[in-house]
Structure formats: structure tokens, C-alpha cells
Structure 1
Amino acid sequence: MSETPAPVGETPPGSSRGPSPAPRAAPRAAPPGARVLAQARWEAGTMLRNGEQVLLTLVLPALVLVGLSRTTLVDLGLEPGQRAVDVVAPGVLALAVLSTAFTGQAIATGFDRRSGVLRLLATTPLGRGGLVAGRVLGVLAVEAVQVVLLGAVALAVGWSPEPLGLLPGALLVLVGTAALTALALLLAGVLRAEAVLAVANLVWAALLVGGGVVVPADALPGPWGALVHVLPSGALGEGLRRASEDGALDLPALGVLVVWALAASLAARRWFRWD
């Protein structure tokens, strides 16, 4: 006598097999803040593990700091009683911001764009806004490491900054980072990766020599010294020197950085290409 088959979906009599497990719910994306912080950690870790980035952001600024603090070969426009390290140290911190926020970000973004990484990340729950926010936070994290390490080297060679200049200096670094990162994205978003590599390095070298970063604008020749005050590099360098020496906020320098940050952000939003 044949057995009646069990209805579909039910366990046949005498079978030890239990009911089918319920399907698992699809994983949900992390909250926006967590996504941005995860991206920032990844960005900072990538920069700090990259040998070329460490050379650009830490080793070269440290060499500039020690070299210019110990030599008289470069005219720093020192006033009577003024020490070279007190002029060079805040300029080197400005150079560190320039290295990380502009040169490093321009090169990294240019090659990420060429390889399709930016386009891929823009389609994830992180989104374009989250990607940009994560990169900016990653830059700030690396800059914090730079300030601690380079500041320690500067103190070791005799730098004595004005403690009241800490807050004005931090504000200038934040606004300067915004301006330089926006310029980096603009450059990386309109040129090919190889061109970005060449231009970013040339700009870094040119601003190091004559951009008012390490060498004060007043020590530069003629009209160029006046023009440097309206460059983001010159505004950041002069502002950090003022904060370090007098503990005061250089409002004209802050204004220049704000204008550059707004203008570069609008330009990057208009012309940046993700692929």
C-alpha cells in the first residue's frame, strides 16, 4: 500500500528534519556618522603607511625645520633679537598642512579617480558627501600627528611659542586645511593622474621656496612679497607665525583663507569629475 506524500513545505511523518530556517534579513548599512569615521580611519591609516606620503608629510618638513634653524645661508628676514627657529617652526607646520591637505590629497585622489575607486565608493552607502567628509577627517587626523611630532622636534631645537597662540593657530589650520583640500580636489578632478602628480609636486616645491610658507613674505623680493600675502600658503604661514610669536589671530590671513576655501569648494563642486 503506497504512502500519501506529505504536502509541499511540511515535514513527512517520521522524518527528523525540522522546519526550514527563516530567511535572514539583509544587513543594513551603518549610520552615516559611523561610515564617515570608518572612511576617515582608512584614509589616515593609508597615508601613514605609505612611504612616499610619510616622506612628504613628515621627513622632509623635519629636515627643513632642523636645517633652516641651524644655518644662516637662507635669508629669513630676521629682526634684531629674533631667532631663526621661531620663524621656521610655524612655517614648517604650515608646510606640513600644505603637504598633507594639498599635495598628498591631490595625488591620491587623482590616481583613485583614474583607477575607478572614486566612482565605486560614490555608489556605496558612503556616498559622495561621505567620501569627501571622510577624506577631510583623515587629513585632519594625519595633521594632528604631524603637529605633535614636528612640534616636538621644534621644541627640541629651541622653539618657544606663545601658549595663547594655540587656539588661533588651530583655527588657521582648520580653515587652511579646508582651502588646500578643496584646491587638491579641484586639481585632481580636472587633470589626468600623471599631470596631477607633476603639477602637485611642482606647486609644493614652488610654494616651499617662494610661497611665504617657511620664508616670511617680508623677506621675499619686491612685489612678489606683497602678492604672497593673498596666497593660501602665505596666509597660513604668516598667520601661524603671528599666532606663535604674539598669541594673536591674524584676521587678514584668516580672511584670505576663508575666501580661498569658499572659492575652491565652489569650483571643485562645479568642475570635479568622478571618472
Structure 2
Amino acid sequence: MSALELTVPATTRAEGEQERAAAPVRRILAQTRFDAMAMLRNGEQLLLTVILPLFVLAGLARSGVVDLGEGRRIDLATPGVLALALISTAFTGQAISTGFDRRAGLLRLLGTTPLGRSGLIAGRLGAVAVVSAIQVVLLGAVGLALGWQPQLAGLLPAVLVGVLGSAAFVSLGLLLAGTLRAEAVLAAANVIWVLLLAGGGVVLAADQLGPFGDFVRWLPSGALGDGLRVALTGGSWPWLDLLVLAAWTAAGTLATMRWFRWDS
């Protein structure tokens, strides 16, 4: 410590350091960048969010084993795989990472820093948005290479469906991570992902699920998958699916605010 520093009162130095602290927006952006890079560098996360959806897309586009309904297979498969990718990032990935961060005490620690709890949540939401955008661009490019022909008029409603769907699944993922033990979160998140892939209205439209279709269409997975298909295949606004996703987002957010525990 220099002689000049010794002559400056500690309170003055503390005030100066506080003044030099990063602005809230910069702290959130830094957390967003950190969380996004952590997700992209994690092998298990990449398998779940990118590699598996790519395999599903290629399999559905080239194989006729699964009946996707009336229309070109690639046009029906790509929106469903986009929905699956969004769920992988917003729900499964966030639930698992948040659950283990909570067990390790990282959430409690970051909540006491200048970032704060609200900044931590905002950073994670930003990371989900960044990774989801990368997924959409990558999977969309692969779909186009396979012959996908989306309706341009449906791009705007598809974006809104994707945003609401991601918000709904982030809230549900955080609810899961904040109420169960980390090991239970890991098991439950993976099982739910498989169940949604098989019969949650994500890859297969609710109309293709027989008597379960009337129930599945009211799930956030069914609304997300059907909403993207209606928008990108028909070029129209899926108003009912948007309302369902908005309701799930509100319910999930309120439940998370009520029952989420920062300590394990």
C-alpha cells in the first residue's frame, strides 16, 4: 500500500470503489455471457440442446416410420424439433444447472454480491435467450438444407410463440430446481424431457396422439409445438396456443416466486 493510500480514509476509498463498480446492466450482461459460455462449453448441455435435436431432425426428415400428419415431412418436423430444442435449453438445462448450483451454495453466494438475486435471474434468462437463438439459427439452417420451406408470414408469430414457450419452461425449470434435491432434479428433468419428446405434442402434433391429444394440447409442450407448426407451416397466428403459453408462464412464475428456495 502506498503512502498516498495510507492518507486516504478507508470510508473514502470504499466510496470510490463503490462508484467505480459496474453498472447493473453491465453486471447482468457479464453474468449472461458467463452463463451462456458455460452452457455452450458443457458437453452434456451440448448433447441435450444441439446434438440430440439434430439427430431427431435428420431422423424425422429421412425416415417415414413416424407419421407426422399431412404435409411435407421436413415442414412438419422442423418446427417440432425447434420446440424440442427450446425445451432442452429453457427447461431441462436450466433445471439441472440451477439445481446443482443451489446444492453447492452458489445461488446463495451470488445473491449476496452486487449482482443480487434479480441480477442472477436476469443473467440466466439472458443466457437462455442467447443459446436459444443459436439453436434456432443452427437447426433452421439444417432444416433449410434438408428442404424446409417455412411460411415467411409466420415468422413473427413463431418468434412470439418461442419467447412465450421459453418463458413458460424457464419458470417451470426453476420451480423444479428450487423445490427438489439436485439428484431428484436431474432424474425428473431428463424423464420429463423424454416423455415430452415421445408424447408431449412437441415433435408429434396433438392431433396425432389420439385420445391423449385433447389433453396434450393444453400442456405448454403441446402449445409450443403446435404453435410453431401453425405459424411456420400455415403462416397464421396460433392465438389459442399463445394464450395457453401465457397462462403457463404466469402460473409458473407465480409458483416459482412462492416456493423457490435459494438454499438446499
What TM-score results when the alignment is normalised by the length of structure 2?
A: 0.94
User: For the residues of structure 1 that align with 2:247 and 2:106, how far apart are their CA atoms?
Assistant: 30
**RMSD value, Cα:** 1.3
* Pairing of 1:105-254 with structure 2 (within 5 A): 105-222=94-211, 224-254=212-242
Q: Alpha-carbon deviation of 1:149?
A: 0.5
- Aligned letter for 1:266? L
Counterpart of 1:37 in structure 2 is 29
The Cα shift of 1:19 comes to 6.5
The reply to whether residue 83 of structure 1 matches residue 75 of structure 2 is no
Give the distance between the partners of 1:107 and 1:233, measured in 2 at CA. 18
Q: Which moved more, 1:27-36 or 1:195-204?
A: 27-36
Q: CA deviation at 1:195?
A: 0.2
Answer yes or no: is 1:59 the counterpart of 2:51.
yes
Q: Distance in 2 between matches of 1:87 and 1:64?
A: 12
1:185 partner amino acid: L
Matching residue of 1:25? 13
Cα offsets for 1:204-235 (capped at 9, x unmatched)? 0000010000011111021x111111100100
More helix by share: 2
- Higher radius of gyration, 1 or 2: 1
Q: % of aligned pairs identical?
A: 59
What code does the residue aligned with 2:119 have?
G
CA deviation after TM superposition for structure 1 residue 172, in Å: 0.8
Q: Which amino acid aligns with 2:247?
A: V
CA change 1:42–1:227 in 2 (3 A) is: same
What is the CA–CA distance in structure 2 between the aligned matches of 1:203 and 1:195, rounded to whole Å? 12
**Residues matched between the structures, number:** 254
Segments of structure 2 that go 5 or more residues without pairing to the other structure are: none
Q: Secondary structure at the match of 1:212?
A: coil
Q: Cα distance, 1:174 vs. partner? A: 0.9
Instruction: Report the CA distance between 1:20 and its aligned residue.
Output: 4.0
Q: Distance in 1 between matches of 2:29 and 2:153?
A: 31
Aligned residue number for residue 6 of structure 1: none
The two structures have a TM-score, normalised by structure 1, of 0.90
